[in-house]
Amino acid sequence: MVVQVAAILVLINIAAFLLFWLDKDAARRGLGRISERTLLLAAALGGGLGALLAQQILRHKTRKQPFRTRLFLIVLVELIAGWLLVIPGVRAALAGLVGF
């Protein structure tokens, strides 16, 4: 189960990175853009690290507020949630709640 969840998260992060890349490319070419809402949704669905990595590597959406703050908060929540899930007591309590 853990391997499957990790694989899904890797794919979501790759997809988020690709969305940022496509939007950056569209901006350069003057083509239709991907909305900030869609980019943030990709981050919020588990692709926060991929989105943050793309933002820094591609230098895309690095000056846009409140986009930067929203992305930072999404990544922070995802990191805290991930950290909580590796603490044995928290993980066991959550597993009991959801039946795993």
> 76-89 as b/e, with b when 16 or more CB fall inside 10 Å?
eebeeeeeeeeeee
What's the predicted TM-score (pTM) here?
0.85
Q: Over 70: is that where the pLDDT of 71 sits? A: yes
Domain count, the chain: 1
Q: Write out the residue range of the structural domain in which residue 40 sits.
A: 2-98
What does pLDDT average to over the chain? 92
- pLDDT band for position 100 (50/70/90)? low
- For 40-62, the pLDDT digits (tens) are 999 999 999 999 999 999 999 99
